[in-house]
Structure 1
Amino acid sequence: MEENQEGAQEEQFNTNKEELIKVTGMYKDWFLDYASYVILERAVPAIEDGFKPVQRRIMHSMKDLDDGRYNKVANIVGHTMQYHPHGDASIGDAMVQIGQKDLLIDTQGNWGNILTGDRAAAPRYIEARLSKFALEVLYSPKLTEWQLSYDGRKQEPVNLPVKFPLLLAQGAEGIAVGLSTRVLPHNFNELIDASIRHLRGKSFKIVPDFPTGGIADVSDYKDGKRGGRVRVRAKINQVDKNTLAITEIPFGTTTTSLIDSILKANDKGKIKIKRIEDNTAAEVEILIHLPNNISPDKTIDALYAFTQCENSVSPLGCVIIDHKPIFLGVSDVLRQSTDHTLELLRRELEIKLHELQEQWHFASLERIFIENRIYRDIEEEETWEGVISAIDKGLQPHVKHLIREVTEEDIVRLTEIRIKRISKFDIDKAQQKIEALEGEIEQVKHQLDNIVDFAVDYFKKLKKDYGEGRERKTELRIFDDIEATKVVIRNTKLYVNRKEGFIGTSLKKDEYVTDCSDIDDVICFTADGKMMVTKVDTKTFIGKDIIHVAIFKKKDKRTIYNMIYRDGKAGNSYVKRFAVTSITRDREYDLTNEKKDSKVLYFSANPNGEAEVVTVLLRQVGSIRKLKFDLDFAEVMIKGRNVKGNIVTKYSVKRIELKEEGVSTLKPRRIWFDDTVKRLNVDGRGELLGEFRGDDRLLIITQDGVAKTIKPELITRFDEEIVVLEKWIPKKPISAIYWESEKERYYVKRFLIDNPDKEEKFISEHPNSYLEIVSTDYYPMAEIVFTKTKGKDRRPNEEINLEEFISVKGIKALGNQLTTEKVNQINLLDPLPYETPEPAQEEVEKEEPEEEKQTSEDDKIELKDIRKADTSSESQTKLFDD
């Protein structure tokens, strides 16, 4: 019985095994067939013409129906279904996508809006016809290779003979089985220029250009290969201090999705806006209204950081070559497309040459046949063979100069010439026709011999005929990286329970610390010398007796922590200064010498490296004679957070008191302006603007005659047409020459900025007034080039010292008239030399306090590192009593 059960189990196992093998075989064959079909026949474009099969069939159907008039899209879709076996919906959607690219199809009606995402009207309501460009570059029946359609009833092209890098112009996206493709669209004129450079053997570079415009950073494009990336941004302008305008959107978004992402970011507290207006029609216009006291510059950065105003697009150049999917860069695609175009042009010329030679051959035969009256030789012939033979015999003495032998087909064509044509035959006209054909043949031969030049001329003609209005839409720029923590709106409050050691946003009954956001990090210090950085949360335990809590800024080298601690229960006291630039989140760091019962005696966090003076008071123990002395943190060098520090005293400290607020010991901050990204930086990129202390400002003068000063914050955006950007020296006058349109004269003025917080226009308000030149030199020089008048010699150029020409007046003053003569040009010359007065130097001798002179060697502060600077800022101090 057991044997029977074992046999039954074995038989069942074998049965299951057989079934498993059968299923595997089915999947192996069917799935691979399906995958191959999707890749080759649906999702991926061919390298030859840049079309997917559905797109190719649509264009072929439109050519079938083309009569110069518009056809209903529904009619075109129905006609295409003869070639495409996947229903009308897929055909209609593909046709709308082609039409929206405004290159191959001349559209009429509501074809949707790529800006708003609105769909096109139903196919029965909209119409289309082939564009002139499509008719010129897409079709050539004599070159086309044909194949049977899916049902065998029709002939369809294997590939269209496209004579243009169409794939790169339109772009392509498709998801197949196991792979996908995403070729980004490129600029029409730039593709033609690149094709010409390739034909001439020169290098080229092409980058995307998106129909929605916007701004793109293509520094990591990697020629459109796998692993590349293009960052795209909306174009955002500041209308006024409370209004931003989005005028162009990133590729891959619509105004609807963009606005939704902005509202979501506002709801999550990432940004703060008042309301949004969408005025988009033919062009994008989204107005973002901001509440009062919200920085427009910071909001623009926040829009890029938290909304679809910035997207990342990853290209993936996959095309079909020889019935296989191949991954290529866009440069390779353009080279192959251009070489293919060159070959198509060559073949067209060869066909044309053959046709011209055939025309010349028959025209010559016809002339011989009529001029020598060979047609009379057939009058006596009674059979068709006799007629052919008689004509052939009559032609023989006259055909030696022909380019090929006379065939029976040629003779048959001669017999078909009508008597009326023979009777009106004009030998001179026939000769002229032959000579004209010979001229055309020579021209085509010349073009074939110089095929590259012919192809270059062909591309130039395409650019001339169709390139107008196809200028680049997407502005290229290198983006700066936006740190989300610097631009996020801090709309949550952070609290601390110092005694119990908790921080969080839910401790509303405890001490308020600062505003924060949910992506911020918090740095905390405790009385036992421990430090921790953790993410903002509702409630987090740090450690008992918290002495300092603040928002942590990564890579912050300017916030300096001043600290005095006792090493162990009865050890020496040490002083140290350090910055915290990088940490591991949620890890506890010991800032003391890691002895038990160590304690922080004094602690301060200084946002600009301030170094205060404190008074150290010692306990009366033994024979200590000096119980009080001062410690200047400016004499302590800033080092790493892990250093032990310098000894303050070996005696017991009673308490430490703040004696004097300190000034910054850090060097002034050097700031550069990077014209590539239009942003300030402290990394040494671009032009050095100067060294800035706490109250220093930047002077900005724009082309429309507006002057203002701002604090040099790194988040500031510079999108205006700036003509002056430099460190502002308040007592240094600004000189300007401008055209006063109402008086029709040039005026000169020199002024100071009295109100640094106010933006003011210093030229007249007339709309046609404009700024000619502006200078911030002490002694600027200008050259006037006068206009020549009839009957008089042109007045010689005149140089003017603007400092002598007019004194410094108010910013709203009209100024002095430059000249009454007609001016052709005004040039700004090199200024006269100016020597900056040297500041008076005072010798300051620092006397040692009397009681310190009497101190024993053991009581002296052991400070060896000294660092001095002259930057001032406020200090935040904490005093601790032992």
Structure 2
Amino acid sequence: MSSEPDSPEIAERINTVRVEDEMEQSYIDYAMSVIAGRALPDVRDGLKPVHRRILYAMHEAGVSSGSSHRKSSSIVGETMGDYHPHGDSAIYDTLVRMAQDFSMRYPLVDGQGNFGSVDGDPAAAMRYTESRMSPIAEELLADIEMDTVDFEPNYDDRLQEPSVLPAAFPNLLVNGSSGIAVGMSTNVPPHNLREVVDATIHLIDNPDCSIPDLMEYVKGPDFPTAGNIVGRSDIREAYTTGRGRLTVRAEYEIEEYERGQRIVITELPFQQNKSKLVENIADDVNEDKLEGIRNLRDESDRDGIRVVVELKRGANADVVENKLLDSHLERTFGVINLALVDGQPKVLTLKELLKHYVDHRKEVVRRRSQYELEEKRERAHILEGRLKALDNAEDVVETIRNAEDRDAARAALRETFEFSEEQAAHIVRMQLGSLTSMEATEIKEEYEDVTARIERLETILEEESELLDVIKDELRDIKEEYGDERRTSIVEDMGTVSHEDLIPEEDVAVVLSEQDYIKRVPIDTFSPQHRGGKGVIGTNLKEGDRVSTVFTASTHDYLLCFTNQGQVYRLKVYEVPEMSRTARGTSAVNILDLDEGEDITAVVTADDLDFEANDEYLTMATQDGYVKRTEVGEFENIRSTGIRATRLEHGDALVDVEVTDGDQDVVLSTVQGMAIRFDEDDVRPMGRSARGVRGVKLEGGDQVAGIAAAAETDDRDLFTVTEFGYGKRTPLSEYRPQSRNGKGLKDIKTGQRNGRVSTVHTVESDDHFVAMSEGGQIMRAPVDEVSEVGRNTKGVKVMELDENDRLAAVDTFSEIETADEDESEGESETAE
């Protein structure tokens, strides 16, 4: 059969559109369908369509809180068949969640059977569980038959379903909501009913109130699993902007028991799987990520959660607690107060959420009052007819008796007594027993009650203040009926206790060997000796290994470590394992990413640097006599693998680094005992990739040994130490300034006794020094044990070395005054 005659008509029905335009519009239509029809709650009742349809299906089926439980499969079937044709599993999953007291702050379904657990166990199949509405859920549907909300056709136009529920309480805030739509998501946390009701009433009384005013009532989210919210600033941000990130922490306590200490967890962050938590902690313990735990068990029962973490003897409970918080006991709850307002998604503040709810309740109460008023007016009209009939009872009865039928009786009553059609019809249906005097009294009393109610309803509809009073009274009733105490505590954000905070601040010596063994040892381990002593064993070296570096620092210092290859690394001193003085140390590979042959030659404490200032410099010296100044700001961000500090020519090496302020002099010392002092302004500031300029003219194979900084009126000494353990102190004033790239002056006599210069430092008389030999001997002594002499002298013995040993490094330090010492001094002053 040919279709040619119809071809023009078919062509007229074809529209030409661009593919991208059609795809865009179709996707937008789909997205809005998902947003409005599935994923986002309505701001008025706080429900998504599937929640609303389940509750309405239960309401229509009479499965109320006062009825017997009904098989969940029956409820799911009726919901799917009449209102929500999206599959039974989606409906049952929603029903299950509404019954879980660990998911909903105020469950809307009263479940009987296995509805899952906080361990992530799934609910039993719907054929095994039974459900009914909880009492508070009925408050969401209260007065729905009184034309309080709009209805719309269901999916097949057979039935009508509500587009929103009357919602006698702000369910969106009280129970929260979560969901993922197309291109957006919502995550409204649950709240305490009493707090939300109080805030709503305050908003009704004070429409111009601020969000901080409302927060006087709504302290923060109140999760069904309790726990703690850390800090109030994040809550304020979430309420003010509609978005925020809350830190939710488990509730726990540290207990003493017969075998030591244990951490007992009794409350979990919202939506945290308890069994998964225990499993993850166990995994970290087995993988040595979490130390100090000897046993872990779950003692939870029907009375509540109890997870016990037993600690090893000697374990620091604060450290274990902190690591548990970092990895397991704290979670972030991302607040996104996204809801549908007039069918459109909108992110809402706390005040906006409550305001939209109040507007909804005003509409509900207004429509309910209008509906009831019409009913009461109709009833009053009937009662007026009955009272009139009682006043003329004999005549009314006679008129009805004389009529041929009911229609004639109604007509006669209307004509004779001027009854309305409704009144006449009612009187004809009346029984004679209703004409008794007792019935007459009851009718008069009912009429008085009805007219009083009509006056009240008219007042509510005419005066908004009266309508708002009704809303407030109903909210107070719900608060008294269903309100409970807050479960989630809000704790101040004191900051988590870091590992650093748990380590006492003390001076330590950090020892690094050529084969990259590293350790730290408290300085107090080494008692001060007189100069010239041999010291004690400072480390147990492997055969063929030698000490390459020793430096002093505080355990809380953050250091910049410069190497001979011109790289700089970050080091937090407390990350270096503390060991005994005779221990070899641990491999430095996980602490400092040094290459083969790379040694630390200079250390600077970064805590003392102002990275944003432009008047501080790191002044570097290389063994070939080059000097460079670079602003400290260029060293603020250092990768774990280090960054370049200076460019070196082949064969050159970085030997020392000093912090200068732009107004100081620089003193360079060479291995052959020469020293030159010049103004640091002679060296212009350069970038990290620059090589620098000549600082000293070297002769006869000489090399730079170290660098020191000196002020114009500096009363400190230059402390020079040689490789064979000899040294001296000379006032800085004896080193007259010269021009850069000169030969300098004779500082110390080198030769067969002294050997070459090892290092130089500027010192004060009350400083201490630590000297360590390549063979691992270490000694500590006061600086004033070393004689103060002039330039061009041999100095005195600083440390006794074995025949084949050499001095590896020397560092100086001022002792830290501990808190105990400060307190004792204060007590002494008070006593005096």
Is the 8 Å Cα contact of residues 109 and 131 (structure 2) preserved in structure 1?
Answer: yes
Compared CA separation, residues 508 and 99, structure 1 to 2 (3 A): farther
Give how far 1:44 is off.
0.7
Shift of 1:368: 0.1
Counterpart Cα distance in 2 of 1:622 and 1:168: 79
Matched residue SS, 1:63: helix
Q: CA deviation at 1:325?
A: 1.6
The Cα of 1:293 is off from its aligned counterpart by 2.5
Q: Is 2:764 the counterpart of 1:633?
A: yes
Number of residue pairs aligned between Structure 1 and Structure 2 = 616
Query: 2 CA distance for matches of 1:542 and 1:649?
Result: 41
Structure 1: runs of 5+ lacking an equivalent: 1-17, 397-405, 489-494, 515-519, 559-563, 604-610, 637-646, 669-691, 697-726, 733-834, 839-882
TM-score (norm. length: structure 2): 0.64
Kindly provide the amino acid, as one letter, of the partner of residue 304 in structure 1: L
Taking the TM superposition and a 5 Å limit, the aligned residue runs for 1:746-761 are: none
**Number of the residue aligned with 1:191:** 196
1:366 CA drift (Å) = 0.5
Q: What do the CA deviations read for 1:7-49 (whole angstroms, capped 9, x no partner)?
A: xxxxxxxxxxx99977546634543332222111111111121
2:221 is aligned with 1:208: yes
Partner of 1:78: 77
Matches within 5 A, 1:204-603: 204-205=214-215, 206=218, 207-217=220-230, 218-221=232-235, 222-224=237-239, 225=241, 227-240=243-256, 241-272=260-291, 273-282=293-302, 283-305=304-326, 307-373=327-393, 374-375=395-396, 376-382=398-404, 386-396=408-418, 407-422=420-435, 426-445=439-458, 449=463, 450-468=466-484, 470-481=485-496, 483=498, 498-499=513-514, 523-526=560-563, 531-533=568-570, 537=589, 540-541=593-594, 546-547=599-600, 555=607, 582-585=636-639, 586-589=642-645, 591=657, 599-601=704-706
Report the Cα offset of residue 459 of structure 1.
Answer: 1.5
Percent identity, aligned pairs only? 27
Instruction: Select 1:169's aligned residue among 168, 171, 174.
Output: 174
Give the distance between the partners of 1:164 and 1:156, measured in 2 at CA. 20
Per the TM alignment, residue 198 of structure 1 is displaced from its structure 2 partner at its CA by: 0.8
1:50 and 2:53 are equivalent in the alignment: no
Written as runs of structure 1 = structure 2, the 5 A alignment for 1:154-165 is 154-165=159-170
Measured in 2, the distance between the counterparts of 1:310 and 1:191 equals: 26
Separation in structure 1 between the aligned mates of residue 518 and residue 831 of structure 2, nearest angstrom: 54
C-alpha contact (below 8 Å) 2:563/2:602 kept by paired residues: no
- Output the CA distance in 2 between the equivalents of 1:653 and 1:530: 35
Deviation at 1:655, TM superposition (A): 9.0
Contact 1:45 1:320 (C-alpha < 8 Å) held by counterparts: yes
TM-fit CA distance, 1:94: 0.1
- Using the TM superposition, name which of 657-666 and 125-134 deviates more: 657-666
Residues 623 and 133 of structure 1, relative CA distance in 2, 3 Å threshold: closer
Change in CA separation of 1:622 and 1:366 when aligned onto 2, cut-off 3 Å: closer
1:90 maps to a residue whose letter is A
Corresponding position: 1:138 with 2:141? yes
1:6-85, aligned counterparts within 5 Å?
Answer: 24=20, 27-66=23-62, 68-82=67-81, 83-85=83-85
Q: Which amino acid aligns with 2:819?
A: R
Go from structure 1 to structure 2 and tell me whether the alpha carbon gap of 1:652 and 1:265 turns closer, same or farther (over 3 Å shift).
farther
AA at the equivalent of 2:238: D
1:184, 1:483 → 2: CA distance?
A: 29
**Structure with the higher fraction of residues in helix conformation:** 2
Instruction: Describe the SS at the equivalent of 2:346.
Output: strand
Give 2:473's aligned amino acid: D
Q: What amino acid is aligned across from residue 92 of structure 2 in structure 1?
A: G
1:526 touches 1:546 (CA, 8 Å); kept in 2? yes
Deviates more, 1:421-430 or 1:133-142: 421-430
Structure 1 residues 268 and 522, CA gap change in structure 2 (3 angstroms): farther
- Deviations along 1:421-472, one digit per CA (max 9) or x if unpaired, are 236664333323322333444454565642223322222211111113x433
Q: Is the 8 A contact 2:728 2:789 kept in 1?
A: no
The 2-side partners of 1:210 and 1:429 are apart by 52
Give the Cα separation in 2 of the matches to 1:44 and 1:656.
Answer: 82
CA drift of 1:618 comes to 6.4
Q: How far does residue 278 in structure 1 lie from its aligned partner after superposition?
A: 1.0
Q: How much does 1:579 deviate?
A: 14
Tell me how far apart the structure 2 counterparts of residues 43 and 622 of structure 1 sit (CA, whole Å): 80
- Find the counterpart in structure 2 of residue 858 from structure 1: none
Deviation at 1:392, TM superposition (A): 2.2
CA–CA separation in structure 1 for the residues paired with 2:627 and 2:795: 11
Task: Please say if residues 233 and 249 of structure 1, whose CA atoms lie closer than 8 Å, have aligned partners that are also in contact.
Answer: yes
Alpha-carbon distance in structure 1 between the residues aligned to 2:46 and 2:360 = 12
Task: For residue 487 of structure 1, report the CA deviation from its aligned partner.
Answer: 7.7
Structure 1 residue 731 displacement after superposition = 8.1
Partner of 1:96: 96
Q: Distance in 2 between the 1:528 and 1:311 partners?
A: 44
Q: Cα offset for 1:387?
A: 3.6
1:120 aligns with 123
Residues 137 and 84 (structure 1 numbering): CA distance in 2 closer, same or farther, change over 3 Å? closer
| CA contact 2:627–2:693 (8 Å) conserved in 1 | no
Q: CA separation of 1:624/1:384 partners in 2, compared to 1, >3 Å: closer, same or farther?
A: closer
CA contact (8 A) 1:149 1:155 kept: yes
TM-score by length of 1: 0.60
Counterpart position of 1:735: none
Amino acid at match of 2:487: R
Unaligned runs of 5+ in 2: 1-13, 504-509, 520-540, 551-556, 573-587, 611-617, 647-656, 659-665, 667-691, 695-701, 709-715, 722-726, 731-742, 755-759, 768-787, 801-809
Deviations 1:482-520 (A, max 9, x none): 6577789xxxxxx9975588989xx99867999xxxxx9
Native 8 Å contact 1:319 1:327 kept in 2? yes
Distance 1:566 1:371, change over 3 A: closer
CA contact (8 A) 2:558 2:607 kept: no
Aligned: 1:109 with 2:135: no
Q: C-alpha root-mean-square deviation of aligned residues, in Å? A: 4.9
Q: Is the 8 A contact 1:46 1:321 kept in 2?
A: yes
Cα distance in 1 for residues equivalent to 2:157 and 2:761: 102
Distance change (3 Å), C-alpha of 1:226 and 1:440: closer
Alpha-carbon displacement from aligned partner over 1:153-199 (angstroms, at most 9, x marks no partner): 22221111112110111111111111111111111211111111111
Moved more, 479-488 or 33-42: 479-488
Aligned equivalents of 1:27, 1:580: Cα separation in 2:
51
Summarize the Cα distance change of 1:61–1:523 in structure 2 as closer, same or farther, 3 Å threshold: same
Q: Is 1:168–1:184's contact at 8 Å kept on the other side of the alignment?
A: yes
Q: Deviations 1:795-834 (Å, cap 9, x if unpaired)?
A: xxxxxxxxxxxxxxxxxxxxxxxxxxxxxxxxxxxxxxxx
Residues of 2 paired with 1:285 and 1:533: CA distance?
A: 42
- CA, structure 1 residues 656+33, in 2 after alignment: closer, same or farther (shift >3 Å)? farther
Q: Distance in 2 between matches of 1:602 and 1:657?
A: 20
Q: Distance in 1 between matches of 2:452 and 2:225?
A: 49
| Counterpart amino acid of residue 546 in structure 1 | D
